[in-house]
Amino acid sequence: MSRRALLGLLLAVACAGEEEKQPVRRNRLAQEKSPYLLQHAENPVDWYPWGEEAFARAKREDKPVFLSIGYSSCHWCHVMEHESFADEEVAKVLNAHFVAIKVDREERPDVDEIYMNAVVYGMGIGGGWPLSVWLTPDKKPFFGGTYFPKEDWQGRPGFLRVLAAIDEWWKDPERRKKIEAQGEQFAGIVQQVYDVEEPGTLGPAALQSARDSLAMNFDAEEGGFGSAPKFPSPSSVETLLRWALRHDDREALEMVTKTLDRMASGGIHDHVGGGFHRYSVTRDWLVPHFEKMLYDNAQLLGLYAWGWLATKRPLHAQTARDIAAWVLREMTGPEGGFYSAQDADDPGGPEGEGGFYVWDPAELAALLGAKDAAVLATMFDVSEAGNWPEKPRKSILQVRKSVDQVAALHGLEAAQVEAIVAKARETMRVAREKRPKPMTDTKVLAGWNGLMISGLCRAYQAMGEEAWLAAARKAGAFLGKEMIRDGRLLLRWRDGEAAHQAVLSDYAYVIAAFLDLYESTFETSWLEKALLLNRAAIEFFYDPDQGGFFFTASDHEKLLARGKPGFDQAVPSGNGTMALNLLRIFELTGDKEMQGRARKTLDYYGNRVSQSALGFGAVLNALDFAQPGTRGIFIAGPRDDPATRALIEAVWRNPHPNRVVALVVPGLETLLPPAAGKVPVAGKPAAYVCRNFTCETPVARGSDLGGP
């Protein structure tokens, strides 16, 4: 009997005698594309997606709105869904007295940012997800928090008790007035969050200040900044790396190296499957929060490749390869777009969160044999006691000993240890796939795809792996075909449908990605796409009066506020990224209006950056690019000439970041006027290095290109 037939027989036996089950009732979220919303489609809660239909009902029935915001890979979102939203008792209360709206924060970052600011700055509550906010029917927030257990628990008020109290206040005329006044107050605070004092002048002193601030917050023992929980902070690491390279600052480079080394060696790095988890809950990078986000890995891929150029440490190159392998193997859709995330939880797994990733000595011995398992256990800190207090006898893989140390302990040569580890990692990866696996969120987000395209392009330029460029090119083509309509960008694609107006960060990251694709392929179609979206970003987002770009477009749905955020979150700020895009376009095209807008954008944040440099990494990195010495490099020669390729690779492999590069082809001057007149010298390929649009004598050898 075949396996399929056997399974069918077992299923038939198991179901024999059961009464016919009623079909599961599905709510409005069943019509959505978001995996997070679809996770709630069978809840008994009468959910609405964000939209006027829900608010119209709230006004018509005079009910408050309960807004729940989360995302598919959020652990506590799953907990609240299981405890409350799947619970008939809770659903009965919500359905009777509230209008319930569910939002995927990754699809609607505009909505998420507004109400997160209301909770954090208005209500004084620490932010996080799930975000739970109660609104008046005119969308003004009057109460909120994050995770609520169903019943009172460890000092947290129970969700049922909160719902009962809000319902009681809403129906009492005097208390209702207080609720509405509080809604007005919090709505005003949201707007104040975005109000900025008079713009200042952001100059080079801010870069020195940032370097010193990062040094003061640097963890000299474990790398990174501050204590637990510890995040990768790639924009801030890049700020240090830029400073180190431009100023030959050994201490700054050592901080970068220590951070990259310790993250790559810690449990935050998946040593078997590749890629990085979201953050570490411990200072030493050992215990991660186990979700894997595309945006973290996109930034870290480019950073590790760049780190390898600067340090030539094999660990940095191998870590970049691990990230890229994971992305191409597990996070790439058949159409070419990159998926968003992998969950923290193991559905149905006996270990719960993180169980997919941890090991014990017996498992290793059964899988690898005693001798190889002993080597792996020494290399990756696997012991009988385990190293994860929450799960005794389970170990999160981390590297605390060098290959030479492991070799000495086991009487082996270093090369033997490396071979054992390489073979064992693949064996472990294949075996791990049989465990209950965390869910992958298969929606494609334009901005996060832009970040990953840039990461792959930068890694390709540094290390020359053609498969990475091919993946970046395919993803770029996918964005161009599926997510750009009439010169405008859409935010999300899934199952053949693109939807939602893109926000500033989406434009910023995708423009940067197309510029990176151009500088990796020299195909002018990428340049044309970048310039097309850049025009749209300026038309619909730029503030010509004060400078800076709004988070939402001028024709976007009207929300409580329209701000111009410059502070980095888990991703670099859209304004910092756009400033850098404008400066790159200026260097390529000579269009001084681009430089002026970039300068005005940077100055918009001048006073804030001078007061607190930390958190403005993207703005500071654009400011670094704006410093004197940034080079425009125009290479003239046939694309297939080895001498031309040698010049291109000399530019790519130079770790100094402040440059743009173009390959001069017939007609390029119509897009890039500075390319005019750049021709081979004496029939041989030549590179023209220009600073402030003054070009040096063309050179024919990569070794003559020099540094910044």
Give the model confidence (pLDDT) of 538-573 as tens digits: 999 999 999 999 999 999 999 999 999 999 999 999
Report, as an integer, the average pLDDT of 488-514. 97
Summarised one tens digit per residue, pLDDT across range 271-318 is: 999 999 999 999 999 999 999 999 999 999 999 999 999 999 999 999
Summarised one tens digit per residue, pLDDT across range 229-247 is: 999 999 999 999 999 999 9
Strands 99-104, 65-70: pairing is parallel
pLDDT at 4 over 50: no
Q: Confidence band (pLDDT; 50, 70, 90) for 55?
A: very high
Written as one string, the DSSP assignment of 431-450 is: HHTTS--PPEE--EEHHHHH
pLDDT at 21 over 60: no
In angstroms, how far is CA 111 from the centroid of its own chain? 18
The pLDDT assigned to 310 comes to 97
Evaluate the omega torsion of the peptide bond into residue 698 and state whether it is cis, within 30 degrees of 0: no
Report, as an integer, the average pLDDT of 83-95. 97
pLDDT at 13 over 80: no
Rounded Cα distance between 651 and 636, Å, is 13
Q: Confidence band (pLDDT; 50, 70, 90) for 8?
A: very low
Strands 341-342, 292-293: pairing is antiparallel
Q: Confidence band (pLDDT; 50, 70, 90) for 702?
A: confident
Closest CA to 707 of 192, 248, 97, 279: 248
Report, as an integer, the average pLDDT of 157-166. 96
Strand partners, 332: 338
What count of Cα atoms within 13 Å lies in the side-chain half-sphere of residue 676? 9
Rounded Cα distance between 136 and 133, Å, is 10
Report, as an integer, the average pLDDT of 140-147. 96
Summarised one tens digit per residue, pLDDT across range 103-140 is: 999 999 999 999 999 999 999 998 899 999 999 999 99
The pLDDT assigned to 405 comes to 97
pLDDT at 375 over 60: yes
Tell which CATH classification among 1.10.10.10, 3.10.180.10, 3.30.565.10, 3.40.30.10 matches the domain 28-194.
3.40.30.10
Q: Confidence band (pLDDT; 50, 70, 90) for 196?
A: low
The SS3 of residue 690 is strand
The reply to whether domains 28-194 and 205-346+441-625 share a CATH topology is no
Closest CA to 665 of 632, 634, 695: 634
Q: Which of 101-110, 141-150, 607-616 is predicted with the least confidence, judged by mean pLDDT?
A: 607-616
Rounded Cα distance between 282 and 228, Å, is 5
Summarised one tens digit per residue, pLDDT across range 350-371 is: 566 889 999 999 999 999 999 9
Query: Residue 250: which residues within 8 A CB-CB, separation 6 or more?
Result: 244
The residue ranges of DSSP E strands in 130-287, in sequence order, are 131-135, 141-145, 279-280
Give CA angle at 18 (12, 19), nearest 5°: 130
Q: How many CB atoms lie within 10 A of CB 8?
A: 12
Q: Look-up: residue for tokens 């107050």? A: 185
Tell which CATH classification among 3.30.465.10, 2.10.60.10, 1.50.10.10, 3.40.50.300 matches the domain 205-346+441-625.
1.50.10.10
pLDDT at 173 over 90: yes
The pLDDT assigned to 353 comes to 83
The pLDDT assigned to 664 comes to 97
- Delimit the domains of the chain by residue range: 28-194, 205-346+441-625, 361-434, 631-704
